[in-house]
Every structure is written in C-alpha cells, then in structure tokens.
C-alpha cells in the first residue's frame, strides 16, 4: 500500500517538477524535484523557495516537510529551517495519529511531535511489535489507541501512541490485555501478563497478582467471536480457556462448545497459528499472518513478507516464497482441483493440486499477466491466459498450453 501523502502529480517547469500530495492541491508550498539531479526542495508555485538538495522530501502540511540527506532524516519548514534536526535514520508520518512522527535511530524507535519534542523516548521493540506500526516506505499506519511493548535494559514496558506509560519497566516480559468490564456500563480496563522463562502471571496496573496467582507457561489470543474476553493459556503443559473478565477457567466441555475445530490464535510474540476445539495445536505459531479460505481446507500464510499455502494441519502445500497467492476458481465436488495463481513479483503462474505428492505443483511458467478460470472438468482445469507479451490463450486439461498466434 502506498502512502496517500506520496507525490502524485508532476508539473514540468524548466528543470523543476513540482510534486503535489493529494491533500495539498490548494496549498502554495509543495515538494518539487529537479528532473536532472533528482533532488528535492520546496517550491511556491513555480518558484524554488528551498534549494533542491534533499534525497527525499515528503509533504506533511504547507508548513512542514520530512526531508532526508546523506541518510539522515529531519523536518524543515517552508523556508528551509530545520524544525527537527537531521539526526534520525528514518522518520515516518502517522496515518491516524495527528501531529506525531515515528522516528528511528539504529535499532530503537520513538515518537516525537512536529516540533521534535519527545512523546515516547527511543526504545528497542519487542519482536513482532514493529507490526504494530505497519510501516510503509514513508508512512506508519498505527492508530491512536494502539499500544506497544518497549524494551530498556532487559525490561519491558507498555506505551500508548500518545505517550502514556501503561506499565513500567519491571519484568523481562509484559503484554497488555484490554478487556471489557464485567459491568457493561463501565469502560474497559487493562490487565497485564508478566514474567519470564515460561513463568507468567496476570497482574493489574498496580502490579497486583490476579486470578488466585494463576501461573501459566504460555498464552494465546483467540481470533473468535468472543473478542478479547477469552485467552488460551498453557498450564502444566495443557491448554485451557480462560475468561479474563471473570477469571474463570473453562472446562474441556465448555471449550469444545465455544471454539471451532479450527481457530486462529496469536502467541506472545505476535506470531499466528491455530488450535482445535480441545485446545490442541493444529498449526504452530510461526506465521506473521494467516488467511483461512472458506471454500476449502487451506490457509494462505505470510512469513517475512512472502506468501504460501498450507492445509488445516499445517502441512505445507506451497512454500512461503511468493508475492501473491489467490484462488482462480473452485470445484465444490472436488476441492483438490482448486487452482491458484501465484505471483513471483513480476508475472503469474498456475499451481494446482497433485494427488501423488499431495502438494500444489506449478503447472505453467511465470510468464502470465492474467489467469482466469474458464472451466474445471473431470479431466482437469481449463483457464484463459494472457502472457507477458499480451498474447491470449488457453491452459488445457491435459496440461498443454495453446496460445493464439
């Protein structure tokens, strides 16, 4: 996803191209680029007001601009004076947190306002927490109500995007749980899972133990209609369902009634997996994202920005190596015929289920810009193809490809 603040339209004026953001067409001051040097500056109408010396320039408003030069980032005003000195390794504007910027120095992240005043100091982040900010090239998609785990000297704390510390640096591990109040007329509140090395406890914001000093070895958030109320906890090597509003541990029968035979869960390191309705792990929590497909017993996985395909027991059908995996068409009589178009970043190829290997196997080369299902027959798939040269053709049930001349 590209930032809607990125530079969208060019107006060529001599050696200068003036670049407007979608939110700034009515503004006089804008980012402009020298089409020869490819450097950026700030222009007023057709006049260069700030020299085009920056490697990167990003519009925040007609008064503020993020700039980078020699790999150091800061912000300037429309006259070129630094508002935030160029001391950071990168700066991102927030999409939903106004007047705040996410900044990075080395492996630490923090939040500052547009004048450079610290909102949240620079800290290392818990593994997986960078996903909280959903960082794009120039923009962070975090929301005001997001929280995140920060690390300092081996201890962890919880901060809000607005700079409030919810839990101080006391334990090596802290995870916040926002739960509804048992009294629905009262606002939600926070609990915290704290501890280290397989011994974790639930505490309130004053660090008082809860749930009769319940000790757990692991905890999983449940992607379920129950919302934030239910957590799967591992106690003495067994999984149980805990209601964090009431503190009640549900028995196996209650767990079976509430959970689905396949339920997506998220572990303490923000990795996704799945359990069944007895609490047994079906897919280990190793993935960055999971997308179950409704028509077949397959799940699209995401790992390190690449996608793959597994079945409901975690068996790998397509390794997570690709940019896009999407279903082409579906045969309800035989889901194993379900084909997929796979992108390697440039072109698509067709993958389909192989009964012998019990995996999805590649049926075509990566030379197609479009693959559309035509028909699934008893003999196999027919599909319309458009290759990288724009030629059209058919993928036939016998596996042969027939392209138009």
Please report, for the chain, the start and end positions of each structural domain, with discontinuous segments joined by +.
Answer: 1-88
Q: Please write the tens of the pLDDT for every residue from 83-109.
A: 999 999 999 999 899 999 999 999 999
Look up the pTM and report it: 0.77
Model confidence band, residue 71 (pLDDT cutoffs 50, 70, 90): very high
Cα angle: 97, vertex 151, 123; to 5 degrees: 50
Burial class (CB in 10 A: 0-12, 13-18, 19+), 150: buried
* CA distances, 355 to each of 127, 334, 377 (Å): 39, 12, 16
Task: Enumerate residues 6+ apart whose C-beta is below 8 A from 98.
Answer: none
How far apart, in whole angstroms, are the C-alpha atoms of residue 275 and residue 222? 9
pLDDT band of 21, cuts 50, 70, 90: very low
Q: Which stretch of 83-87, 315-319, 338-342 has the lowest confidence by average pLDDT?
A: 338-342
Tell me, letter by letter, the H, E, C secondary structure of 320-356. EEECEEEECCCCCCCHHHCCEEEECCCCEEEEEEECC
Pairing mode, strands 316-322 and 118-125: unpaired
Report the 10 Å Cβ neighbour count for 43. Answer: 24
Q: Tokens 């028509």 map to which residue?
A: 295
Find out whether 72 and 105 touch, Cβ atoms under 8 Å. Answer: no
| Average per-residue pLDDT for the chain | 88
pLDDT of residue 22: 37
Q: How far apart are the first and last CA of the chain?
A: 37
Q: How far apart are CA 327 and CA 339, in angstroms?
A: 6
* Confidence grade of residue 14 (pLDDT, cut at 50, 70, 90): very low
Between the alpha carbon of residue 404 and those of residues 117, 180, 401, the distances in Å are 63, 61, 10
Q: Which of 13-22, 29-38, 290-299 has the least mean pLDDT?
A: 13-22
Under a CB-based contact definition with an 8 Å cutoff, are residues 373 and 385 in contact? no
pLDDT score, position 334: 64
Indicate if the pLDDT at residue 226 is higher than 90. no
DSSP characters for 72-109? EEEEEETTS-EEEEEEESEEEEEEESTTEEEEEETTEE
Q: What angle do CA 157, 158, 164 make, to 5 degrees?
A: 115
| pLDDT tens-digit series, residues 353-374 | 888 888 899 999 999 999 998 8
pLDDT at 8 over 80: no
Q: How far is residue 247's CA from residue 226's CA, in Å, rounded to a whole number?
A: 15
pLDDT over 60 (residue 5): no
pLDDT in tens, 165-199: 999 999 999 999 988 877 778 888 999 999 999 99
Strand, coil or helix: 233: strand
């Amino acid at each position: 996803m590209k930032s809607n603040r990125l530079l969208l339209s060019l107006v060529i004026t001599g050696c200068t191209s003036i670049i407007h953001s979608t939110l700034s067409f009515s503004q006089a001051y804008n980012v402009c680029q020298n089409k020869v040097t490819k450097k950026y500056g700030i222009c007023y109408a057709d006049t260069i007001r700030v020299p085009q010396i920056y490697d990167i320039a990003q519009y925040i408003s007609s008064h503020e601009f993020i700039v980078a030069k020699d790999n150091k980032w800061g912000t300037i005003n429309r006259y070129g004076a630094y508002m935030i000195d160029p001391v950071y390794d990168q700066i991102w504007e927030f999409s939903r947190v106004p007047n705040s910027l996410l900044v990075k120095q080395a492996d630490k992240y923090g939040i500052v306002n547009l004048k450079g005043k610290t909102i949240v100091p620079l800290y290392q982040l818990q593994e997986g927490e960078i996903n909280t900010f959903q960082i794009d090239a120039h923009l962070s998609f975090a929301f005001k109500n997001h929280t995140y785990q920060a690390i300092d000297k081996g201890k962890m704390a919880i901060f809000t995007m607005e700079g409030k510390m919810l839990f101080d640096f006391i334990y090596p591990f802290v995870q916040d749980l926002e739960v509804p109040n048992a009294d629905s007329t009262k606002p939600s509140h926070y609990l915290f899972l704290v501890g280290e090395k397989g011994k974790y406890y639930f505490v309130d914001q004053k660090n008082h133990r809860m749930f009769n000093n319940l000790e757990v070895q692991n905890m999983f958030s449940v992607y379920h209609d129950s919302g934030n109320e239910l957590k799967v906890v591992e106690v003495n090597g067994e999984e149980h369902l805990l209601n964090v509003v009431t503190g009640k541990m549900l028995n196996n029968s209650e767990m079976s009634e509430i959970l689905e035979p396949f339920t997506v869960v998220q572990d303490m390191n923000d990795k996704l997996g799945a359990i069944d309705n007895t609490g047994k792990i079906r897919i280990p929590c190793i993935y960055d994202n999971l997308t179950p497909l409704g028509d077949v017993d397959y799940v699209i996985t995401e790992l390190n920005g690449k996608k793959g395909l597994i079945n409901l027991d975690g068996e790998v059908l397509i390794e997570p190596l690709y940019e896009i995996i999407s279903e082409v068409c579906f045969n309800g009589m035989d889901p194993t015929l379900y084909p997929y178009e796979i992108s390697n970043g440039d072109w698509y190829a067709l993958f389909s289920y192989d009964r012998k290997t019990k995996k999805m196997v590649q049926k075509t080369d990566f030379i197609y810009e479009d693959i559309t299902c035509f028909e699934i027959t008893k003999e196999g798939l027919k599909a319309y193809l458009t290759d990288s040269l724009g030629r059209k053709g058919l993928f036939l049930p016998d596996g042969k490809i027939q392209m138009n001349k």
